[in-house]
Amino acid sequence: MMEVGPVVDRKAWDAAVAASGGHLLQSWAWGELKSLFGWSALRLAVSDAGRTVAGAQVLFRRLGPVSLAYVPRGPWGDLRDVAVVRLLLGAVHDAARRRRAIFLKLEPPLTDEPTNLEWVAALGFRPSAQRVQPVSTIVVDLTADLATISARLKPKWRYNIGLAQRRGVTVRAAGLADVPAWYRLMQITGRRDGFPLHPEAYYRQFLSLLGPAARLLLAEHQGVLLAGIAVTAFGPQAIYMYGASGDEHRNLMPNHLLQWEAIRWAKDAGCREYDLWGIPDEVGQAGGAEPSAGPIDGSESELAGVYRFKAGFGGQVVRMVGAWDYAYSEPMYWLYRTALPWYRRLRLRGQG
């Protein structure tokens, strides 16, 4: 007989998520991290004859007397079993209503295919333009040997990796003591490329809570820090989560070498794929698995340069189903969707 209920055992939770191929954002540590920065985590799982078959880590954020509910890259497990999914989501809905959630946002770990879109819609969810995680990305297959993985790189990328090595760029695994220096690079990158940052404490907690599942790699040249990236390895998947580089010595190609070392680390960790975590969605919408290192036709996306860089590492373009909402209060849901963009525009004008 199937049962659903909360899980309080961290090891049991992570083992079940990883065994099912579940995402890092459904890991216990990710819930802990978000709980330190304004969210609270509830972990629900379905068991059948004592075996965990599916689950969802639900994040809640208070907004005065109400709240928001969010399942990042979940649920996980046997999602093709309708009875399992409905039992799990029933428990999620009950928990969300008890917390007076306006709506539940789901970003399932499903690719953008008609059957998957129909699956989410049949559960009562509607597509949402307010996405949190990347919809389109590039994923590198790590199941081959390193020589084959290297051969799949664009020739210029292999050259740049060798150039960085020949010119004396080194990459090392860093620790918490290196976070302040890396964060200064993050601030430089944020100003240069126009993206927002978490506070420094967030990245410190990210590395601390994920422990061996996270790696901070720093590229240096003659004692000078040039660039750094944070990557994770959870279950079968490694992810490039955060990156930063300085304005100087970019001709030494530290970022190419960093990504190659991250790929090597991920393969050594037993991962089967390396997710480069985010490219312009128009690439995914255009269809086709093979990325191009050339320009994006007609795109003014701020991620265009990021895409060109990631496209050189021999991966495949993957597009997910995106964000879907389940409203518990239609008037409040309408107000939230209407007021939030207005509030954000007002804040931006006030900061100008």
Let me know: does 263 contact 310? Beta carbons within 8 Å: no
Same domain, 163 and 94: no
Residue 344 domain boundaries: 2-132+321-351
Same domain, 38 and 182: no
Q: How far apart, in whole angstroms, are the C-alpha atoms of residue 26 and residue 52?
A: 15
- The closest alpha carbon to 327, from 105, 42, 116, belongs to 105
CATH of the domain at 27: 3.40.630.30
Residue 258 sits in the same domain as residue 336: no
Q: What is the DSSP string of 256-316?
A: HHHHHHHHHHHHHTT-SEEE-----HHHHHH--S---SS--TT---TTHHHHHHHGGGS-E
Give the count of beta carbons closer than 10 Å to the beta carbon of residue 305: 12
Q: Are residues 275 and 329 in the same domain?
A: no
First-to-last CA distance in the chain? Answer: 59
User: Do 253 and 340 fall within a single domain?
Assistant: no
Per-residue pLDDT tens listing for the chain (352 residues): 899 999 999 999 999 999 999 999 999 999 999 999 999 999 999 999 989 999 999 999 999 999 999 999 999 998 989 999 999 999 999 999 999 999 999 999 999 999 999 999 999 999 999 999 999 999 999 999 999 999 999 999 999 999 999 999 999 999 999 999 999 999 999 999 888 899 999 999 999 999 999 999 999 999 999 999 999 999 999 999 999 999 999 999 999 999 999 999 999 999 999 999 999 999 999 887 677 655 455 444 567 888 999 999 999 999 999 999 999 999 999 998 887 666 555 444 443 3
Spatial separation of the C-alpha atoms in residues 56 and 72, rounded to whole Å: 9
Q: 127 and 274: one domain?
A: no
| 269 lies in the same domain as 336 | no
Three-state DSSP class for residue 322: coil
CA–CA distance, 278 with 39 (Å, rounded to integer): 23
Query: What was the pLDDT predicted at 287?
Result: 80
Does residue 301 sit in the same domain as residue 343?
no
Question: Do 94 and 84 share a domain, yes or no?
Answer: yes
Which pLDDT value is given to residue 193?
85
| Amino acid in the structure at residue 21 | G
Three-point CA angle 312, 131, 129, nearest 5°: 115
126 and 156 both lie in a single domain: no
Q: Is the dihedral of CA 210, 212, 218, 222 positive or negative?
A: positive
Q: How many domains does the chain have?
A: 2
Residues 6 or more apart whose CB falls under 8 angstroms from that of 339 comprise none
Q: Are residues 53 and 180 in the same domain?
A: no
Please give the helix or strand (H or E) that residue 28 lies within, else none.
helix 28-35
Residues 164 and 291 in one domain: yes
Q: Residue 348: its pLDDT value, please?
A: 40
- Determine the 3-state secondary structure of 69 from DSSP: strand
